[in-house]
C-alpha cells in the first residue's frame, strides 16, 4: 500500500517537474527526438535489409542434375547422401517426368516438342536448400564429388554479391544503432542531470528526512520515462507517415524488382512501438544514472 502511494506520488511529481522545468525538459526531449529519429530510420533500413537478404537467401538453392544413367534407386540413395552433408536443410527430388509435365503445363508447345522424343530428354534433379548462404559454395563442391552427378550449380554471382553487401550494410547499421542508443542514453542522462542539479536540495532533504533510495529515485525515473516518451512522438509520426508514403511512391520495391520493401502495415507499428519503448527505457536509465550521482548507494 505504502509502495503504491510512493509510486503514485512519483508519477504526479514526474509530470509536475517536466512541466515546471519545461525549458530544461525541452532540451532532454529534443535530444531524445533527434536521436530517436535517427534510430527509427536505422531500424527501417536494418529491417528492410534483413527482409531482402532473407528473401534472396531463400532463392539461393543448389540445382543438382543427375546423370542420365541414374536409376530411381540411385536417386534415393543420392538424396540421403546429400541430406547427410553439413548445412543442408532440405533436398527436394524432382523426377524428369514431373519436370516434363510441369513444363508442358506451363506452355503446351513444350508438350508437342516432347512428343517428338521417344525418351524423356530431361534429367532427374534435386533442389537443395541450405540453412546458410555462406555454405552454398562448399556444399555445391561436396555434391559434385558424389557419383552420378551431371551438374550442381547455385545462383548467379550478382545475387551472391548482393547478399554479401547486404550483410555488411546490415552489420554496420546494427553497430550504428547500438552506438546511437548509448549516445542517446548518455545525452539524456546529462540533460536530466541539469534538471536534477537544480533539484539537488530536494534530494538532500529527502535523504535527510528518511526517504528510501527507491522513493528518491522513482520520481526521477518516471520523469525520464515521460521525457523519453514525449521525445518519441515526433519520430513515430515522421517514420510511420514517411514510410507509408515512401512505400507507395516506390511501389514497394527499391533499385530492382527483386529487392522488395516490407509492406508498411504492422511493420511501421512495430517500429513505432520499438521507438516508444526505446525512448522510455533510455529516458529511465538515463535519469537513473543521473540521480545515482546524488545518492550514496
Partner 1 sequence: MKFIELKNVNKTYSTGVTALADLSVEIEKGEFVFVIGHTASGKSTFIKMLYREEKPTKGSVIVGGVNVAKLRNRKVYKLRRKIGVVFQDFKLLPKLTVYENVAFALECLGLKAKDIKPKVMKAIEIVGLKEKTRSFPHQLSGGEQQRVCIARAIVNEPKLLICDEPTGNLDPETSKEIMKVISNINKDLKTTVIMATHDKEIVNRMKKRVLLIEHGVLTGDYLKGSYKSHENV
If binding is defined by CB under 8 A, does position 150 make contact with partner 1?
no
Q: What is the sign of the dihedral through the CA atoms of 187, 192, 195 and 198?
A: negative
The only residue of 94, 100, 207, 289 in contact with partner 1, by rule CB under 8 A:
207
If binding is defined by CB under 8 A, does position 253 make contact with partner 1?
no
If binding is defined by CB under 8 A, does position 197 make contact with partner 1?
no
Separation CA 163–CA 184 (nearest Å): 31
The only residue of 175, 212, 251, 293 in contact with partner 1, by rule CB under 8 A:
212
If binding is defined by CB under 8 A, does position 292 make contact with partner 1?
no
The only residue of 129, 211, 259, 292 in contact with partner 1, by rule CB under 8 A:
211
Neighbours of 233 (CB within 10 A): 16
Q: Which three cell numbers stand for residue 171?
A: 552489420
Spacing of C-alpha 31 from chain mean position: 25
Give min distance, CB of 283 to partner 1, in A.
23
If binding is defined by CB under 8 A, does position 103 make contact with partner 1?
no
If binding is defined by CB under 8 A, does position 255 make contact with partner 1?
no
Q: Which residue has the cell 536534477?
A: 196
Give min distance, CB of 41 to partner 1, in A.
40
Separation CA 102–CA 96 (nearest Å): 10
The only residue of 202, 242, 259, 289 in contact with partner 1, by rule CB under 8 A:
202
The only residue of 73, 108, 118, 208 in contact with partner 1, by rule CB under 8 A:
208
> Count of residues binding partner 1 (CB under 8 A)?
22
Q: Name the residues that contact partner 1, by CB under 8 A.
A: 2-3, 5-6, 9, 20, 201-202, 204-213, 215-216, 296-297
Amino acid at each position: 500500500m505504502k509502495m503504491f502511494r510512493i509510486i503514485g506520488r512519483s508519477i504526479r511529481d514526474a509530470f509536475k517537474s517536466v512541466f515546471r522545468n519545461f525549458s530544461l525538459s525541452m532540451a532532454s526531449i529534443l535530444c531524445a527526438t533527434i536521436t530517436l529519429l535517427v534510430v527509427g530510420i536505422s531500424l527501417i533500413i536494418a529491417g528492410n535489409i534483413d527482409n531482402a537478404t532473407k528473401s534472396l537467401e531463400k532463392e539461393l538453392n543448389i540445382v543438382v542434375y543427375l546423370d542420365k544413367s541414374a536409376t530411381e534407386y540411385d536417386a534415393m540413395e543420392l538424396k540421403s547422401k546429400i541430406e547427410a552433408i553439413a548445412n543442408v536443410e532440405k533436398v527436394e527430388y524432382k523426377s524428369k517426368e514431373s519436370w516434363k509435365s510441369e513444363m508442358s503445363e506451363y506452355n503446351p508447345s513444350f508438350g508437342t516438342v516432347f512428343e517428338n522424343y521417344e525418351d524423356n530428354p530431361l534429367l532427374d534433379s534435386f533442389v537443395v536448400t541450405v540453412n546458410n548462404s555462406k555454405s552454398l559454395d562448399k556444399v555445391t563442391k561436396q555434391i559434385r564429388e558424389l557419383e552420378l552427378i551431371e551438374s550442381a550449380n547455385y545462383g548467379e554471382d550478382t545475387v551472391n554479391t548482393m547478399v554479401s553487401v547486404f550483410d555488411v550494410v546490415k552489420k554496420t547499421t546494427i553497430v550504428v544503432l547500438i552506438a546511437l542508443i548509448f549516445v542517446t542514453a548518455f545525452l539524456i542522462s546529462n540533460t536530466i542531470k541539469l534538471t536534477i542539479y537544480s533539484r539537488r536540495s530536494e534530494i538532500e532533504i529527502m535523504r535527510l528526512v528518511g526517504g528510501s533510495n527507491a522513493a528518491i529515485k522513482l520520481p526521477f525515473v518516471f520523469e525520464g520515462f515521460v521525457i523519453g516518451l514525449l521525445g518519441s512522438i515526433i519520430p513515430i509520426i515522421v517514420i510511420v507517415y514517411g514510410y507509408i508514403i515512401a512505400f507507395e511512391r516506390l511501389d514497394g520495391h527499391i533499385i530492382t524488382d527483386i529487392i522488395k520493401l516490407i509492406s508498411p502495415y504492422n511493420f511501421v507499428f512495430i517500429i513505432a512501438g520499438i521507438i516508444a519503448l526505446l525512448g522510455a527505457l533510455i529516458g529511465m536509465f538515463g535519469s537513473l544514472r543521473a540521480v545515482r550521482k546524488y545518492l550514496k548507494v
